[in-house]
Amino acid sequence: MSLALRINDALPQTQCTRCGYPDCQRYAEAIANGEAGINQCPPGGTEGVVRLSALTGQAITALNPENGFEGPRTIAIIDEAWCIGCTLCIAVCPTDAIVGSNKRMHTVIEPYCTGCELCIPACPVDCIALEPVDMALTGWAAWPQNLADLARQRYDARAVRLAREAQENDERLQAKAIQKLADLPAHTKGTDNAPEVDRKRAIIEAALAKAKARQANQA
Protein backbone atom coordinates (compact mmCIF):
# COMPACT_ATOMS: atom_id res chain seq x y z
CA MET A 1 0.00 0.00 0.00
CA SER A 2 1.35 3.43 -0.93
CA LEU A 3 2.22 6.02 1.70
CA ALA A 4 -0.60 8.28 0.50
CA LEU A 5 -3.16 5.51 1.02
CA ARG A 6 -1.83 4.73 4.49
CA ILE A 7 -1.95 8.40 5.42
CA ASN A 8 -5.51 8.67 4.14
CA ASP A 9 -6.46 5.67 6.27
CA ALA A 10 -5.14 7.57 9.31
CA LEU A 11 -7.20 10.70 8.67
CA PRO A 12 -10.64 11.29 10.24
CA GLN A 13 -12.42 11.53 6.87
CA THR A 14 -14.52 14.53 7.86
CA GLN A 15 -13.80 16.01 4.39
CA CYS A 16 -13.96 19.46 5.98
CA THR A 17 -11.27 21.06 3.73
CA ARG A 18 -9.78 22.92 6.73
CA CYS A 19 -6.42 21.36 5.88
CA GLY A 20 -6.42 23.51 2.75
CA TYR A 21 -7.19 20.66 0.35
CA PRO A 22 -10.46 19.56 -1.30
CA ASP A 23 -10.72 16.34 0.70
CA CYS A 24 -8.82 13.97 2.99
CA GLN A 25 -7.36 11.98 0.11
CA ARG A 26 -5.89 15.07 -1.54
CA TYR A 27 -4.39 16.13 1.79
CA ALA A 28 -2.90 12.66 2.23
CA GLU A 29 -1.33 12.85 -1.23
CA ALA A 30 0.10 16.30 -0.44
CA ILE A 31 1.70 14.97 2.76
CA ALA A 32 3.14 11.97 0.94
CA ASN A 33 4.60 14.29 -1.72
CA GLY A 34 6.16 16.59 0.86
CA GLU A 35 3.83 19.45 -0.05
CA ALA A 36 1.92 19.68 3.25
CA GLY A 37 2.66 19.29 6.93
CA ILE A 38 1.16 16.68 9.22
CA ASN A 39 -0.31 19.37 11.49
CA GLN A 40 -3.07 20.73 9.24
CA CYS A 41 -6.02 18.55 10.34
CA PRO A 42 -7.99 20.09 13.24
CA PRO A 43 -10.54 17.23 13.46
CA GLY A 44 -7.70 14.74 13.98
CA GLY A 45 -6.25 16.92 16.71
CA THR A 46 -3.04 16.10 18.54
CA GLU A 47 -3.63 12.36 18.25
CA GLY A 48 -3.94 12.79 14.50
CA VAL A 49 -0.53 14.47 14.33
CA VAL A 50 0.94 11.58 16.33
CA ARG A 51 -0.55 9.07 13.90
CA LEU A 52 0.79 10.90 10.89
CA SER A 53 4.20 11.30 12.50
CA ALA A 54 4.45 7.54 12.95
CA LEU A 55 3.66 7.02 9.27
CA THR A 56 5.84 9.73 7.77
CA GLY A 57 8.72 10.06 10.20
CA GLN A 58 8.05 13.80 10.51
CA ALA A 59 8.45 15.38 13.93
CA ILE A 60 5.36 15.85 16.08
CA THR A 61 4.37 19.52 16.09
CA ALA A 62 1.42 21.54 17.35
CA LEU A 63 -1.57 21.99 15.07
CA ASN A 64 -1.18 24.90 12.68
CA PRO A 65 -3.59 27.59 13.97
CA GLU A 66 -4.11 28.80 10.41
CA ASN A 67 -6.05 25.58 9.79
CA GLY A 68 -8.08 25.74 12.99
CA PHE A 69 -8.02 24.23 16.44
CA GLU A 70 -8.85 20.88 17.96
CA GLY A 71 -12.35 20.75 19.39
CA PRO A 72 -15.28 18.49 20.24
CA ARG A 73 -17.16 16.69 17.52
CA THR A 74 -20.12 18.71 16.30
CA ILE A 75 -23.20 17.96 14.23
CA ALA A 76 -25.23 20.34 12.11
CA ILE A 77 -28.73 21.23 13.24
CA ILE A 78 -31.20 22.90 10.88
CA ASP A 79 -33.78 25.31 12.29
CA GLU A 80 -36.69 23.93 10.30
CA ALA A 81 -38.84 26.98 11.01
CA TRP A 82 -36.40 29.13 8.99
CA CYS A 83 -35.34 26.65 6.29
CA ILE A 84 -36.47 27.83 2.85
CA GLY A 85 -35.63 24.60 1.02
CA CYS A 86 -32.98 26.13 -1.24
CA THR A 87 -30.94 22.84 -1.36
CA LEU A 88 -27.62 24.74 -1.20
CA CYS A 89 -26.58 22.88 1.95
CA ILE A 90 -27.43 19.55 0.32
CA ALA A 91 -25.16 20.40 -2.61
CA VAL A 92 -22.11 21.00 -0.42
CA CYS A 93 -22.54 18.22 2.15
CA PRO A 94 -19.66 15.77 1.52
CA THR A 95 -21.45 12.75 2.99
CA ASP A 96 -25.03 13.34 1.82
CA ALA A 97 -26.05 13.79 5.44
CA ILE A 98 -28.73 16.38 4.61
CA VAL A 99 -32.01 15.30 3.06
CA GLY A 100 -34.76 17.39 1.53
CA SER A 101 -35.86 18.76 -1.81
CA ASN A 102 -36.41 22.11 -3.48
CA LYS A 103 -38.73 24.35 -1.44
CA ARG A 104 -39.14 21.56 1.11
CA MET A 105 -37.83 21.51 4.64
CA HIS A 106 -34.38 19.94 5.06
CA THR A 107 -33.08 17.87 7.93
CA VAL A 108 -29.74 16.35 8.99
CA ILE A 109 -29.19 12.62 9.42
CA GLU A 110 -27.03 12.91 12.52
CA PRO A 111 -24.99 9.67 12.24
CA TYR A 112 -23.82 10.75 8.77
CA CYS A 113 -22.86 14.32 9.72
CA THR A 114 -19.11 14.87 10.13
CA GLY A 115 -19.40 18.40 11.51
CA CYS A 116 -17.42 19.66 8.51
CA GLU A 117 -19.08 23.13 8.70
CA LEU A 118 -19.37 23.39 4.90
CA CYS A 119 -23.13 23.84 5.09
CA ILE A 120 -22.86 26.90 7.36
CA PRO A 121 -21.64 29.46 4.78
CA ALA A 122 -23.81 27.87 2.09
CA CYS A 123 -27.07 28.63 3.93
CA PRO A 124 -28.49 32.00 2.78
CA VAL A 125 -30.80 32.38 5.80
CA ASP A 126 -28.37 31.29 8.55
CA CYS A 127 -30.67 28.54 9.77
CA ILE A 128 -27.90 25.98 10.40
CA ALA A 129 -25.94 25.74 13.63
CA LEU A 130 -23.31 23.34 14.95
CA GLU A 131 -23.87 21.63 18.27
CA PRO A 132 -21.19 19.68 20.16
CA VAL A 133 -21.84 16.01 20.83
CA ASP A 134 -19.68 15.88 23.96
CA MET A 135 -17.68 18.87 25.19
CA ALA A 136 -15.36 16.56 27.15
CA LEU A 137 -14.09 14.74 24.06
CA THR A 138 -11.99 16.27 21.28
CA GLY A 139 -10.05 15.09 18.25
CA TRP A 140 -9.94 11.34 17.71
CA ALA A 141 -11.41 10.76 21.17
CA ALA A 142 -14.61 12.36 19.91
CA TRP A 143 -14.50 10.70 16.50
CA PRO A 144 -14.26 6.89 16.68
CA GLN A 145 -12.90 4.87 13.78
CA ASN A 146 -16.28 3.43 12.86
CA LEU A 147 -17.61 6.94 12.17
CA ALA A 148 -14.51 7.80 10.14
CA ASP A 149 -15.01 4.64 8.07
CA LEU A 150 -18.69 5.44 7.54
CA ALA A 151 -17.90 9.01 6.49
CA ARG A 152 -15.35 7.76 3.97
CA GLN A 153 -17.81 5.25 2.51
CA ARG A 154 -20.48 7.90 2.14
CA TYR A 155 -18.05 10.41 0.64
CA ASP A 156 -16.88 7.85 -1.92
CA ALA A 157 -20.48 6.87 -2.70
CA ARG A 158 -21.38 10.54 -3.22
CA ALA A 159 -18.48 10.96 -5.66
CA VAL A 160 -19.73 7.97 -7.66
CA ARG A 161 -23.27 9.36 -7.67
CA LEU A 162 -22.17 12.81 -8.82
CA ALA A 163 -20.05 11.32 -11.61
CA ARG A 164 -22.97 9.16 -12.75
CA GLU A 165 -25.39 12.10 -12.71
CA ALA A 166 -22.93 14.25 -14.66
CA GLN A 167 -22.52 11.53 -17.27
CA GLU A 168 -26.28 11.02 -17.55
CA ASN A 169 -26.77 14.76 -17.98
CA ASP A 170 -24.08 14.88 -20.68
CA GLU A 171 -25.76 12.01 -22.50
CA ARG A 172 -29.15 13.75 -22.39
CA LEU A 173 -27.67 16.97 -23.74
CA GLN A 174 -25.80 15.12 -26.47
CA ALA A 175 -28.95 13.27 -27.56
CA LYS A 176 -30.83 16.55 -27.68
CA ALA A 177 -28.05 18.21 -29.69
CA ILE A 178 -27.84 15.31 -32.15
CA GLN A 179 -31.60 15.43 -32.65
CA LYS A 180 -31.51 19.16 -33.29
CA LEU A 181 -28.52 18.79 -35.62
CA ALA A 182 -30.39 16.22 -37.70
CA ASP A 183 -33.09 18.73 -38.56
CA LEU A 184 -31.34 22.04 -38.06
CA PRO A 185 -33.31 24.09 -40.65
CA ALA A 186 -36.52 23.36 -38.73
CA HIS A 187 -34.95 24.89 -35.63
CA THR A 188 -33.77 28.01 -37.45
CA LYS A 189 -35.94 30.99 -38.27
CA GLY A 190 -36.05 31.35 -42.02
CA THR A 191 -35.10 27.98 -43.53
CA ASP A 192 -33.44 29.78 -46.44
CA ASN A 193 -30.99 31.50 -44.07
CA ALA A 194 -28.00 29.28 -44.90
CA PRO A 195 -25.38 31.34 -42.97
CA GLU A 196 -27.42 31.11 -39.78
CA VAL A 197 -27.94 27.36 -40.23
CA ASP A 198 -24.21 26.89 -40.78
CA ARG A 199 -23.41 29.00 -37.72
CA LYS A 200 -25.70 26.94 -35.49
CA ARG A 201 -24.34 23.70 -36.96
CA ALA A 202 -20.78 24.75 -36.13
CA ILE A 203 -21.76 25.63 -32.54
CA ILE A 204 -23.56 22.32 -31.96
CA GLU A 205 -20.78 20.26 -33.54
CA ALA A 206 -18.19 22.04 -31.39
CA ALA A 207 -20.27 21.38 -28.26
CA LEU A 208 -20.60 17.69 -29.17
CA ALA A 209 -16.87 17.40 -29.77
CA LYS A 210 -16.15 19.02 -26.41
CA ALA A 211 -18.56 16.67 -24.64
CA LYS A 212 -17.00 13.61 -26.26
CA ALA A 213 -13.50 14.78 -25.28
CA ARG A 214 -14.67 15.30 -21.69
CA GLN A 215 -16.13 11.78 -21.57
CA ALA A 216 -12.92 10.33 -23.00
CA ASN A 217 -10.86 12.07 -20.31
CA GLN A 218 -13.18 10.79 -17.57
CA ALA A 219 -12.92 7.26 -18.94
State the SS3 of 10-72. Answer: CCCCCCCCCCCCCCHHHHHHHHHCCCCCCCCCCCCHHHHHHHHHHHHCCCCCCCCCCCCCCCE
**Residue 189's pLDDT band (cuts 50, 70, 90):** low
Assigned superfamily of 3-56: Electron transport complex subunit B, putative Fe-S cluster (1.10.15.40)
Q: Is 208 exposed, middle or buried (0-12, 13-18, 19+ CB in 10 A)?
A: middle
89 pLDDT more than 70 = yes
9 pLDDT more than 90 = yes
How much is the average pLDDT of 188-193? 59
Domain 74-142 has CATH 1.10.357.10: no
219 pLDDT more than 60 = no
Domain boundaries, the chain: 3-56, 74-142, 162-218
pLDDT in tens, 125-178: 999 999 999 999 999 999 999 999 999 999 999 999 998 988 888 778 777 777
Q: State if pTM tops 0.85.
A: no
- Of 135, 118, 129, residue with least CA distance to 76: 129
66 pLDDT more than 90 = yes
pLDDT at 191: 52
